[in-house]
Amino acid sequence: MVKKLTIILLVAVFGCGTKESENSKSQMEITYSIDTVMIDSKGYFLYLSESLGRSFLAKDGKTLYNLNQKLPQLEVIDLSLMELVDTIPMERKGPAGIGAFDFYDGIQVLENGEIFIFAWEEIVRLSADRKSVEKYRFSATNLTGYSLNQDEEIRYEGLISEDGTHFFTFYGNSAEFSSRLGLAIINLEEMSLKKVDLPLFEELIQFEIQTETNIGYPYTYVEPIHFTQFSDQLLISSSPINEVYKVDISAGTYSHLPFSSLLTANRVEVTYPTIANSNAGTTEAVRDRWKQVSFYKMNWDQETQRFWRITNQTEIFEEKESIDKLALTFFDRELNQLGEVRLPEDWESTGAPFISQGMYLQFMNINDELAFVRLKPNFKDL
């Protein structure tokens, strides 16, 4: 059952691309409507402790899998029906055990029903019938193809390809946990490695914030890197720069696409300390970084046949309260920028956002029940 709490009338907003970039030429008029809907949980107490931060939206744009870390279990929500439709229990131990970890980094669910669970230094592949598992660990001794240097290792954060044959991630210095030296494409069937040396990784070093102590640098803040697969291409972007690298998955070649915005800055300026001598100093430096622009991942929406990207800039006040200023930018399938629109000033962005069925869905917890604020844009070429 869908309960509509509020409906806001259409608001006319104008967004346009800029002539400064060849990928930012077109103009559109964008209007939108907003409502709020409750998810019918059928009496089940949904796991909302992480604000859907470990959930995964399937390729169909309708099926949302929410990871309940405590059980562990997947809660399956149909975003077209706005209701809980299934739960998928998983075992920690046994022949189909996913591992007795206290915490899982994330999940992916393929169209064939296979489930990938990301753990600390392991990726677990659970079969569609949940009767068997395959576990992946990567090292210089079990990977063929490109070689890992003696001081390099594979990271376990990234993206599984839509067909389950490849893992897209980083490789970095084994002595520096935050180090990211380049893109790693791993063929899971052949256990072979391909390295791609993108300029992005070197460029992001300037934004890092390190905590200096007598024993070195135990903590380093690094900027998020976003992966999106689109057909045989891998789109790679980062939080502080308005750009995308488009990588040919098979060949390992890439092209660089810079963009330009009329609503936000196009990159973060390093006006904050990049070395702090205490945890409190690091926290303050990171807060100063967050006051600037952040670009989210590219999301392909089948309904509108466009890429959507969320951009955020946070205003943080002395009393530690904050206001998020968000914008949406739209691109065609060739990544030509079509337009951008600023969201209402009272838009709440706490928790996970989703692009689904021609709408932007923002998580809300209303009295321990799951709800979404939905923004539906309408486009008109100028």
Strand ranges across the sheet with 73-78: 56-57, 63-68, 73-78, 83-89
pLDDT of 1: 40
Going 141 to 142 to 148 to 154, the CA torsion angle's sign is negative
Rounded CA-CA distance 131/97 in Å is 9
Mean local confidence (pLDDT), 115-136: 96
Label residue 16 by pLDDT band (50, 70, 90): very low
Q: If DSSP codes are grouped into helix, strand and coil, which group holds residue 341?
A: strand
Label residue 21 by pLDDT band (50, 70, 90): very low
User: What is the pLDDT of the chain when averaged over all its residues?
Assistant: 91
What are the helix and strand counts (H, E) for the chain?
Answer: 2, 31
156 Cβ contact list (under 8 Å, min separation 6): 105, 118, 119, 120, 121, 122, 123, 169
Q: What is the pLDDT of residues 278-329, one digit of tens each?
A: 888 999 999 999 999 999 999 999 999 999 999 998 876 666 566 778 999 9
Would you say residue 15 has pLDDT above 50? Answer: no
pLDDT of 23: 52
pLDDT of 196: 98
Q: What is the pLDDT of residues 130-154, one digit of tens each?
A: 999 999 999 999 999 999 999 999 9
pLDDT of 289: 95
Its pTM stands at 0.91
Helices marked H in 234-373: 279-290
Write the DSSP symbol of residue 149: P
- CA-to-CA dists, residue 310 to 110, 281, 301, 352, 361, angstroms: 24, 29, 13, 12, 11
123 Cβ contact list (under 8 Å, min separation 6): 116, 117, 135, 136, 156, 160, 167
Q: Which domain holds residue 286?
A: 3-381
pLDDT of 71: 94
Q: What is the pLDDT of residues 54-97, one digit of tens each?
A: 999 999 999 999 999 999 999 999 999 999 999 999 999 999 99
Q: What is the pLDDT of residues 200-233, one digit of tens each?
A: 999 999 999 998 866 655 689 999 999 999 999 9
pLDDT of 174: 95
pLDDT of 165: 98
Q: What is the DSSP string of 212-227?
A: EETTEEEEEE---EEE
Would you say residue 337 has pLDDT above 50? Answer: yes
Rounded CA-CA distance 353/360 in Å is 7
Least confident among 106-120, 184-198, 216-230, 308-322: 308-322
- For residue 22, give the CATH number of its domain: 2.120.10
Residue 175: which of 150, 197, 158, 192 has the closest Cα? 150
Other CB atoms within a 10 A radius of the CB of residue 30 amount to 21
Tokens of 296: 């989210």
Rounded CA-CA distance 312/331 in Å is 17
Into how many domains does the chain fold? 1
Q: Return the percentage of the chain with pLDDT > 70, whole number.
A: 90
142 Cβ contact list (under 8 Å, min separation 6): 191
Rounded CA-CA distance 274/270 in Å is 8
Q: What is the pLDDT of residues 149-177, one digit of tens each?
A: 999 999 999 999 999 999 999 999 999 98
